[in-house]
Structure 1
Amino acid sequence: MTAKRIVVVGGAHVDRRGRIFGDTRPGASNPGAWFEEAGGGGFNAARALSLLGHNVTMVSVAGGDPGAALVEAAAARTGVTLNGFTFLDRQTPSYTAVLEADGNLVIALADMALYDLMTARRLKVNWLRDTLANADFILSDANLPAETIATLAADARAHAIPMAAIGISPAKIVRLIPSLPALDFVFMNEAEARTLAGADCEARDWPKRFGERGLKGGAITRGMKPALLWRDGKTVTLAPPPVDTIGDVTGAGDAFAAGAIDAFLAGGRISVMIQQATALARITVQSPLAVAENVNRQLLSEMLALVPQAEMLD
């Protein structure tokens, strides 16, 4: 497909994961190992889209510390143009997680306060305003303040530029609520969807509930349970095929979003979007990294052949 100009505004930070080797012993020293890489929902999706051949610009905030250099190196490796705002007296945002031997989360600490400085008025800076106005697609994530997301979505709608957002977490996805009518898609996991839809809403009814709130389209990943993707009142579902070897599930949801966006930009139907999203997520979970840097069109095509057909829901 023809490369598109994609602008991603959102999280690009340091992602630290510690894995305990044996049984977890709370309140005690546990043998294990640390792993550090660049992360962030928006940045993970940005890198995947760049590896698929798109012209991607990532806009975020950074501190004057080694964390910023880590993000810059990850952008350079994957061909992403990294722009944004640097605060030399601050630390780059970070997410630090401790995992059990089987990958389940023990505890995590998100040091994300710097994203609060990505205010709506920064969208008016000339270089950023021009970058956004020339985009074919805009992607944000819920790491940003709600006002910033709403302003970005309103501007995208005014310029007839399609825009999507990634939910990030149950606590942060509520920041998207004011922007739902202006967004083309929201990508979320099951916990985020339950937060947004309300506990009284069954999974099958989530697309209808979100449609009532003005959201035209979206997708919900549910681990190994069937994912949902809908657009303009039509919903498809697809159960992901089993994976023999799991490297790390970190970044799988962001890869799902990238795969769906790529198919959307190629004019694909929602059935194609969910198939390609599933294929790219499957590649990602087999990698130890949040972004499988071996991603290319050929690998995606090979994985797509292993993904079953989507089922249309009534």
Structure 2
Amino acid sequence: MANILALGGAHIDRRGRISGETAPGASNPGSWKQEAGGGSFNAARALARLGHSVTLFSPRGGDSEGEAVARAAEAAGVIDRPLVFLDRQTPTYTAILERDGNLVIALADMELYSLMSPRRLTMHDIREAIAAADLILTDANLPQETLLALCDTASAAEKPVAAIGISPAKIVRFKPSLAKLGFLFMNEAEARALTGAAPSDPTEWPAIFRTVGLSAGAITRGRDAVVAWNENSVGTLLPPPLAAIGDVTGAGDGFAAGFLHATLEGSDLAGALAHGAASARLALISEMATAENLSRALLAETLALVPNAEIVL
């Protein structure tokens, strides 16, 4: 079991799902659901369900949505330490999904995260949590200057930082921090936004990122092969097909959680890729952003459905 400190998105996800063929510019019949979500929070809950001790710090409003996030953290076994702003609203993410679960469009109301300034990292409780952590997990919901300060603080304390890209618009906040990150999880659209590159061969991504300072990362590509690399190796893994998708929301966060869990348990790159793919699969078949039934036993069972990773370098 590892001690993990998570700082970043923990908010309310609202998702509408169209029940028929999508008709742009028109009213579409469908259904609506709401739950707690956020990149760091989704991964934090998955890691807690896999038996790790996870402490979460995130800005929260003094409202019913903030209370809902707190209840979700407690249910997953996450140690919740919110930074509450009583006069503000908890951030929200509102998405519209097609009938097959794929995203049509989303709107992120995340202004509260701008109040997570670098000086918040000097709070006694956060400094203590950094000192006790085996791993620090963050995401691009936080301001650029805060992410850089977090990486500097973690580096001084000799603590690795893993990060989640969140979106093409937000991942660019990591540009000043790339050389200081231990690992960055992203999808291909986010990778393009961060580098301006679009290689025809996805195995070229590691070399591109190494030139801008990122020594280790993973790029998920939907149904196509995920690419991951570290200082010594490059690996790919083609996710097995799914008969049906419950919801794509949180799949990348699930991949990050499975990958980090395996890494913390001593797995090599190939093993971490397989665990990431298995965890993402469980998130995809779930109607929720995270697999609420996730456990070490279920993850091990799901690994049998995942092909071996190919180490290409």
TM over 0.5: yes
Output the amino acid matched with 2:135. F
**Are the counterparts in 1 of residues 63 and 86 from structure 2 also a CA contact under 8 Å?**
yes
- Matching residue of 2:92: 94
**Are the counterparts in 2 of residues 208 and 233 from structure 1 also a CA contact under 8 Å?**
no
Q: Per-residue deviation at 1:97?
A: 1.2
Using the TM superposition, name which of 62-71 and 202-211 deviates more: 202-211
Distance, in Å, in 2 between the alignment partners of 1:147 and 1:12 is 19
| Structure 1: runs of 5+ lacking an equivalent | none
User: May I ask how many residue pairs the two structures share in their alignment?
Assistant: 312
Aligned to 2:21, which of 20, 23, 28? 23
Q: Per-residue deviation at 1:27?
A: 3.9
Sequence identity percentage: 56
Alignment of 1:248-267 (within 5 A): 248-267=247-266
Alignment of 1:234-253 (within 5 A): 234-253=233-252
What per-residue deviation string (whole Å, max 9, x for no partner) do you get for residues 77-102 of structure 1? 10001113111111100001122323
Q: Does 1:193 align with 2:188?
A: no
Distance, in Å, in 2 between the alignment partners of 1:290 and 1:311 is 28
- Matching residue of 2:173: 175
Q: Does 1:303 align with 2:296?
A: no
Q: Per-residue deviation at 1:133?
A: 1.2
Distance, in Å, in 2 between the alignment partners of 1:236 and 1:180 is 20
Output the amino acid matched with 1:131. A
SS of aligned partner of 1:19: strand
**Are the counterparts in 2 of residues 211 and 233 from structure 1 also a CA contact under 8 Å?**
no
- Matching residue of 1:146: 144
**Are the counterparts in 1 of residues 227 and 235 from structure 2 also a CA contact under 8 Å?**
yes
- Matching residue of 1:272: 271
**Are the counterparts in 2 of residues 46 and 58 from structure 1 also a CA contact under 8 Å?**
yes
Q: Does 1:33 align with 2:47?
A: no
Using the TM superposition, name which of 76-85 and 95-104 deviates more: 95-104
Output the amino acid matched with 1:40. G
Q: Does 1:292 align with 2:274?
A: no
**Are the counterparts in 2 of residues 50 and 80 from structure 1 also a CA contact under 8 Å?**
yes
Distance, in Å, in 1 between the alignment partners of 2:231 and 2:188 is 21
Alignment of 1:43-62 (within 5 A): 43-62=41-60
CA RMSD of aligned residues (A): 1.2
Q: Are the structure 2 counterparts of residues 64 and 196 from structure 1 closer, same or farther at C-alpha, using a change threshold of 3 Å?
A: same
What per-residue deviation string (whole Å, max 9, x for no partner) do you get for residues 193-247 of structure 1? 1112223544221111111122120001001100011000410000001122321
Distance, in Å, in 2 between the alignment partners of 1:137 and 1:75 is 19
Using the TM superposition, name which of 279-288 and 21-30 deviates more: 21-30
| Structure 2: runs of 5+ lacking an equivalent | none
**Are the counterparts in 2 of residues 197 and 206 from structure 1 also a CA contact under 8 Å?**
no
What per-residue deviation string (whole Å, max 9, x for no partner) do you get for residues 87-138 of structure 1? 1111100001122323333332110000000010000011111111110100
**Are the counterparts in 2 of residues 18 and 34 from structure 1 also a CA contact under 8 Å?**
yes
